[in-house]
C-alpha cells in the first residue's frame, strides 16, 4: 500500500473501489509470504521481528504526520489552522447563547476542541450528517452550533420577515461586500490577508437594509 500511496501522492485517492481492491490484493500476497516465512523462524526471532516492525511503522507514521502538518498542511492553509479557527472560536465564547451557523469549519468538532466541551455530551447529542461520497459522516449540529450551507442572505431574509425581533444568530463565512461591518475579521499578523468573517445578523441587517436593499428577500 505504501507503493500505491507513494505513486499517487494523496492517500485519499486509494479509498475508491479500484484502489482498495489493489490494496487488498497486495496485502493478501504480503500476508501469504509472511506466513510462509514465519514457519521457518524460531518463536523468539518472530516476536522480535513483529515488535521491531510495529515500533518502526508507528514511529514512521508519527514522523510523517508531524512533518506533513508542520510543512505542507500548515503552509498551504496557514490562516485556517494557525489563526482563523483559534481566533474565531475564542471570539465566539462570548456568544454561546446565539445560534452559530458555519460553512467554513467543521464547527461542532473544532468548537469542542477549543472550548474543551464534554466529549460524552458530544457523543450523545451531536447530530450527524448523512455519509458523503467517501462514506464519511461529520457532526452537523451540536447544541447551538450548525455546520450548514445556510447563507448570509438566507439569514437576512429571516430577519427581514420580522425586523423588530432579535434573531441572535451569527454566521461564519468568507468576507464579501459586507465585510466592512463584520463583527470580527480573522487575519494574519500583517493584516494583509483576510479569509473569514463572523457576521452578527442583527447588526448586519440595518446596514444591508440601507445600502443593499435588493439583497433582502421580497415579502409577499
User: For each successive 10 residues of the chain (220 residues), what is the average pLDDT?
Assistant: 53 60 84 82 82 87 72 50 68 85 72 72 79 70 82 91 92 84 70 73 93 78
Confidence (pLDDT) at 79: 47
**With contact defined as beta carbons under 8 Å apart, do 216 and 160 qualify?**
yes
**With contact defined as beta carbons under 8 Å apart, do 144 and 98 qualify?**
yes
- Burial code (b: 16+ CB inside 10 Å, e: under 16) for 85-116 equals bebbbeebeebeebbbbbbbbebbbbbbebee
Confidence (pLDDT) at 73: 47
> Smallest Cα–Cα separation from 156: which of 146, 171, 175, 142?
171
pTM confidence score: 0.57
- In total, the chain counts a number of residues equal to 220
Amino acid at each position: 500500500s505504501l507503493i500505491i500511496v507513494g505513486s499517487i501522492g494523496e492517500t485519499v485517492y486509494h479509498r475508491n473501489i479500484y484502489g482498495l481492491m489493489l490494496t487488498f490484493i497486495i496485502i493478501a500476497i504480503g500476508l501469504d509470504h509472511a506466513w510462509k516465512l514465519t514457519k521457518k523462524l524460531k518463536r523468539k526471532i518472530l516476536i522480535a521481528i513483529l515488535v521491531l516492525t510495529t515500533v518502526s511503522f508507528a514511529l514512521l507514521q508519527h514522523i510523517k504526520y508531524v512533518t506533513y502538518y508542520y510543512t505542507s498542511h500548515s503552509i498551504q492553509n496557514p490562516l485556517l489552522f494557525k489563526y482563523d479557527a483559534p481566533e474565531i472560536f475564542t471570539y465566539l465564547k462570548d456568544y454561546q447563547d446565539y445560534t452559530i451557523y458555519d460553512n467554513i469549519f467543521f464547527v461542532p468538532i473544532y468548537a469542542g476542541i477549543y472550548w474543551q466541551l464534554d466529549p460524552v455530551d458530544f457523543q450523545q447529542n451531536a447530530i450527524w450528517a448523512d455519509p458523503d461520497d467517501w462514506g464519511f459522516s461529520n457532526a452537523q449540529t451540536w447544541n447551538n452550533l450548525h455546520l450548514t450551507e445556510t447563507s448570509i442572505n438566507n439569514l437576512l431574509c429571516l430577519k427581514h420577515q420580522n425586523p423588530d425581533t432579535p434573531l441572535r444568530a451569527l454566521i461564519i463565512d468568507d468576507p464579501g461586500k459586507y465585510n466592512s461591518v463584520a463583527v470580527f475579521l480573522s487575519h494574519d499578523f500583517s493584516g494583509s490577508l483576510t479569509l473569514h468573517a463572523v457576521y452578527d445578523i442583527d447588526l448586519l441587517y440595518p446596514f444591508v437594509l440601507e445600502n443593499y436593499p435588493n439583497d433582502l428577500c421580497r415579502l409577499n
